Amino acid sequence: MGQVAFLPRALTGVLFIVALCAAGWAYGLYGVGGAAVGTGVAWLLGVERERLSQGMEGFNSCLVGVSCAVFLRPDRVATVLVALLGCVVVTVATAAAGRAFGAWGLPALTLPFCAVASAITLAAPGFPRVWSGGGAGLAALPKPVEGTTEGLGSAGAARGFLAGFGQVFLMPQWYVGAFVLAGLLVAGLRVAGVACLGNATGMATAWALGVPADRLADGTCGYNAVLVALALCGVFLAPGPRTLLYALVAAVVATAFAPAFGALVAPVGGHTFTWPFVLTTLVFLVAARSFPRLAAPPAPDASGA
């Protein structure tokens, strides 16, 4: 579960579990169950031991499980079955994406989770036994965002900052984000520092573009920036001043791109998930190969998903 933030550390994973359980036991159970199912299916199919021990086969399925608890009815047996099937499918999708992107030397990131979770949420309105009833199957066409940044205040900004970490797991509560941040801190001050800078950059970008205060306070403007910053400064590119600046520019792009992707999927009732993070990171990783001062391999202890 620590690999959701590119961290193959058990203590980080434990704190992420605590974060989910703080939001509700259903989220914790679906998250842990998803990670266990994904890892178990990969083991049954003979995936190499190193990938299993590093948690590489559990993080996408963990997120699929959590997404089912968030967007469907977690107390229904049908939802449990959908989550189990989704975790099996995402394990296959992870292998397929790994092969496809590996040919170009690129990581699959959370693309398997995004693809499977998007398919589940798009199909869910057609199945009353799992649909949570959050509106009709087809969402209304996107409208201009209403509201202002006024009224956010320092307390709202602090809540939004912490919630940005929680939104990595689709959780908007600030205290969930506090536990996620604690999980990053136990991995090292550099890791937590990069994540905090990414989060702050995402929030500042959204504020500068006039995103309403309630959106800034619920963390949805920061989580993609957190993941982009972690990926591009220390995981897939060596940490350093240049890569940090490069990662923060990418964090700005991911934040600005998120509403565009949301508008694309809104007419069919879709959700953004971590698509902005995935697409932005892949573009910047490919581009980094043209910049010799950025393309150095990451440090030996910075391996990640």
The pLDDT tens digits of the residues spanning 259-305 come to 888 777 776 566 889 999 999 999 999 999 999 888 655 555 544 44
Instruction: Return d(Cα 237, Cα 91) in angstroms, integer.
Output: 26
Instruction: Return d(Cα 54, Cα 70) in angstroms, integer.
Output: 26
* Secondary structure, 3-state, 50-115: HHHHCCCCCHHHHHHHHHHHHHECCCCHHHHHHHHHHHHHHHHHHHHHHHHHHCCCCCCCCHHHHH
Are 247 and 233 contacting, i.e. CB atoms less than 8 angstroms apart? yes
Per-residue pLDDT, averaged over 83-94, amounts to 97
pLDDT above 80 (res 240): yes
Per-residue pLDDT, averaged over 178-197, amounts to 97
pLDDT value at residue 297:
56
Q: Which candidate, 136, 203, 143, 170, places its Cα nearest to that of 31?
A: 170
Band of residue 23 on the pLDDT scale cut at 50, 70, 90: very high
The gap from C-alpha 267 to its chain's centroid, in whole angstroms, comes to: 22
Q: Rounded to the nearest 5°, which phi and psi values hold at 221?
A: -95, -5
Q: Which candidate, 106, 94, 98, 9, places its Cα nearest to that of 55?
A: 9
Instruction: Return d(Cα 246, Cα 244) in angstroms, integer.
Output: 5
Expressed in angstroms, the distance from the first to the final Cα of the chain is 11
pLDDT above 70 (res 80): yes
pTM, 2 dp = 0.90
pLDDT above 60 (res 56): yes
pLDDT above 50 (res 179): yes
Burial class for 49, CB neighbours closer than 10 Å (0-12, 13-18, 19+): exposed
Query: 72 in helix, strand or coil?
Result: strand
Band of residue 139 on the pLDDT scale cut at 50, 70, 90: very low
Q: Rounded to the nearest 5°, which phi and psi values hold at 53?
A: -70, -25
**Least confident window among 128-132, 232-236, 298-302:** 298-302
Looking at per-residue pLDDT, the higher value among 152 and 76 belongs to 76
Residues 6+ positions from 287 with CB-CB distance below 8 Å: none
pLDDT tens readout for residues 194-230: 999 999 999 999 999 988 888 899 999 999 999 999 9
Per-residue pLDDT, averaged over 100-112, amounts to 95
Instruction: Return d(Cα 174, Cα 23) in angstroms, integer.
Output: 10
pLDDT value at residue 121:
86
Instruction: Return d(Cα 100, Cα 205) in angstroms, integer.
Output: 33
